[in-house]
Amino acid sequence: MYPIITRSVPVQLGRRIAKPSLTLTLRTVVANNGSKRWASSVNSLTKTQLPFTYSPNGPKIVKYTKDHEWIAAHEDGIAFIGISKYASDSLGDATYIELPEVDTIIEEGESMGSVESVKSASEIYQPVKGEVVEVNTELENKPQLINQDPMGLGWIAKIKLDSMNDIDSSDKLLSLDQYEESLKHDD
Amino acid sequence: MLKIGLINRISIRRRFTVSYFTTGKTPFNLSNTDGKDDKYKELNSMYVDMFTPEGDESETVSNPNNNKSELEEINEEMNDLCNIGYKKISSQDLQSITKSPGRFILQSLSHNPYYNLSLEDYIFRNTPSCTGSFTNQRLLFYINDNCAVMGKNQTSWKELHLKQLQESGYEILRRLSGGGAVIHDLGNVNYSFLTARDEFKTSYFNELITQWINRMSPMDYPLKLNKRGDITYNDKKCSGSAFKIAKGKAYHHGTMLISAQLDKFHGLLKPDHINGVEWECNSVDSVRSEITNIPFNAPGEFIDLCIKGFREEFALMTGANDSVPVYYCDETSTMNTQIAETMELLSSDQWKYFTGPKFKVKSTETNKTISVEKGIIRQSDFPGIVGKPFKDIFDKNPQELEPASLRRFISLLY
């Protein structure tokens, strides 16, 4: 009898990609043990990458959702969206990133993509309403960027906000402190 | 519709019975059997026969598990055909149990894969997520008729022998969770365990199943988990898994091969490599594994055992005698708009063939490529096909495909 039931592995251009570093693999899957270990800075934006450097002085505001997305909004109404370090560590090695389509308007709370890792499809939700102006196509060939630098190189979408007020006035979005606090309650 | 011979280990007599049912004449209409209609008499005496222990059947009788599952299964089959047996919950009941907190077990009696996957999605989306300790675990069981189910982020033409599947009458589905491609038939049980995202661990539920079976119904070889958290029997895979995470919740759904017709699975899922074809894509690849059924008598036996194990594991806190309730449903008694919409999505060509990862496929004979995004051919060295749906080219009568090199290449993808 030959192969029938199957499982997934990361594949890139017909070849298996190298396994990410040991530290990443060790942190996979068990989310609830992990959060205690990490310093509070791990869920902040990478200061050397586009979501931060898009404006010379960095984003005007960075917020989080309880579903582990982050959004970094800049002065000109452009915002970057991705998943938190906590989320990426708990998901494990990413094998495929489903990106939203450019030019589509996505309402707050709608699914805007997903991350597949270890046979798990994990939905990503739009933190506030906006039009997708660009997606991080690097992730198509290098889904592992989501594990290496989820809050920088591994950004998912760049959107044009309807209004900056949506972020300021949202009672669903969390500050970094509030987000980190919510992770403690997850345990 | 029930298929004869769906269970490998069914006795000849049972098959015979089933074929009677499919004629639409119920054998229980005793008023018709008073001498006029001898075939009913024959059938009824066959039933008496079947349920009366005989000397030469002492082996079966001595094993209460075997006996129970045979009965169980007859019930299940009859339920399918005559709508009797299990009490199915109404659409309102489904809404109410799903949106209320608390644990439950639900078994779908439908074999329609579109219904079953949509039902699962409905329960997943509508189960309340709660802060603090999560007590809304749900366990679902369903058995799908012949179908191939691939992961959300896979490419059907790469993973499946679509032509062979279509010719053999298999439905083709793209599910909402991740993972690889699997074949389902009536001898395969699907289980689906829903819990909180934060309590979610990919190997958790398979560890439980393994413990339950090894403890309550030991087999020749104990079930084991391999490094990837898949269940194996005698070092062969008997169960596949996939997961979905959203909105603070997660589910693990898996298959358990019990009396699947494994010989018929051959040639339905594609091997890693087919000569003449090279794929360039970052979709999720399937890994081929040797598979086996586990030696249970019937799917129902596995379901019963899991229900018992689940109830022990997740006893209700409310009272000593309470246990997690078990409900039954199917698409005629238990339906709602959300389920219907998801069924429509899952059965649409849009979802199956125009969604999913982009890919490039190369004919090594001619070195020509076809690049496809969202199901549409964006670029190709073959003339005249850019802008057309890849599905249309694939489905075309080969005689109509020009040039011959394209015809030869497409036929390699069947």
Q: Which of B130-134, B150-154, B388-392, B396-400 has the lowest mean pLDDT?
A: B130-134
- Residue in the structure block whose two tokens are 């079966």: B60
The DSSP bridge partners found for residue A21 are none
Task: Kindly report the CATH number assigned to the domain that includes residue A182.
Answer: 2.40.50.100
| Percentage of residues in chain B having pLDDT higher than 90 | 71
DSSP A80-133: EEEE-HHHHHHH-SEEEEEPPPTT-EE-TTSEEEEEEETTEEEEEE-SS-EEEE
pLDDT of residue B16: 35
Whether the predicted pLDDT of B50 surpasses 60 = no
Contact A157, A134 (CB under 8 A): yes
Residue A53 belongs to a domain: yes
- Rounded to an integer, the average pLDDT of A150-156 is 97
Q: Which of A23-32, A161-170, B277-286, B393-402 has the lowest mean pLDDT?
A: A23-32
Question: A39: which residues sit within 8 A by CB, 6+ positions away?
Answer: none
- Confidence class for position B211, pLDDT limits 50, 70, 90: very high
B112's tokens: 């329609």
Whether the predicted pLDDT of B220 surpasses 80 = yes
Q: Which of A79-88, A160-169, B78-87, B340-349 has the lowest mean pLDDT?
A: B78-87
Phi, psi of A84 (to 5 degrees): -75, 165
- Confidence class for position A126, pLDDT limits 50, 70, 90: very high
Computed over every residue of chain B, the mean pLDDT equals 84
* Of A138, A135, A20, the residue nearest A88 (C-alpha): A20
- Confidence class for position B246, pLDDT limits 50, 70, 90: very high
Whether the predicted pLDDT of A22 surpasses 50 = no
Question: B105: which residues sit within 8 A by CB, 6+ positions away?
Answer: B138, B139, B140, B141, B307, B310, B311, B324, B325, B326, B327
A50-61, pLDDT tens digit by residue? 999 999 999 999
ipTM here: 0.76
- Rounded to an integer, the average pLDDT of A142-168 is 94
User: Largest Cα–Cα distance of chain B, in whole Å?
Assistant: 75
Q: Please list the alpha-helical segments (H only) found in B231-276.
A: 262-265
Residues of A within 8 A of B184 (CB-CB) are: none
pLDDT of residue B72: 63
Any chain B CB within 8 A of the CB of A25? Answer: no
Exposed / middle / buried, residue B51 (Cβ in 10 Å: 0-12, 13-18, 19+): exposed
- Rounded to an integer, the average pLDDT of A36-50 is 73
pLDDT of residue A169: 85
pLDDT of residue B323: 84
Of A1, A116, A140, the CB nearest to B284: A116
pLDDT of residue B314: 85
Question: pTM (2 decimals)?
Answer: 0.78
CA distance B393 to chain A (A): 23
Number of domains in chain A: 1
C-alpha to C-alpha distances, A65 to A50, A92, A183, B8, B193, nearest whole angstrom: 20, 20, 11, 51, 25
- Confidence class for position A33, pLDDT limits 50, 70, 90: very low
* Domain-wise residue ranges, chain B: 12-82, 91-353, 359-412
Q: Please list the alpha-helical segments (H only) found in B10-63.
A: 12-21, 38-51, 58-62
CA distance B187 to chain A (A): 14
User: What residue of A is the nearest CA neighbor of B176?
Assistant: A121
pLDDT of residue A118: 84
Contact B277, B173 (CB under 8 A): no
Going through B308-364 in order, the beta strands assigned E by DSSP cover 326-329, 359-363
Across the interface, do A29 and B202 touch by the CB < 8 Å criterion? Answer: yes
| Percentage of residues in chain B having pLDDT higher than 70 | 78
Whether the predicted pLDDT of B183 surpasses 60 = yes
Residue A59 belongs to a domain: yes
Task: Provide the domain limits for residue A93.
Answer: 46-186
Whether the predicted pLDDT of A176 surpasses 50 = yes
- Confidence class for position B32, pLDDT limits 50, 70, 90: very low
Of B202, B240, B285, the CB nearest to A5: B240
Of B176, B230, B265, the CB nearest to A4: B265
* Of B202, B212, B406, the residue nearest B307 (C-alpha): B212
Higher pLDDT, B6 or B205: B205
B309-327, pLDDT tens digit by residue? 999 988 765 554 568 999 9
B187-210, pLDDT tens digit by residue? 999 999 999 988 888 899 999 999
- Confidence class for position B30, pLDDT limits 50, 70, 90: very low
Residue A67 belongs to a domain: yes
pLDDT of residue B304: 96
B58-97, pLDDT tens digit by residue? 333 344 444 556 666 666 566 556 555 688 999 999 999 9
pLDDT of residue B87: 86
pLDDT of residue B3: 38
pLDDT of residue B290: 94
Of A1, A8, A187, the CB nearest to B284: A8
Residues of B within 8 A of A2 (CB-CB) are: 266, 271, 288, 290
When the candidates are 3.30.930.10, 3.90.550.10, 3.20.20.70, 3.40.50.1100, the CATH number that belongs to B91-353 is 3.30.930.10
Q: Which of A123-127, B19-23, B223-227, B236-240 has the lowest mean pLDDT?
A: B19-23
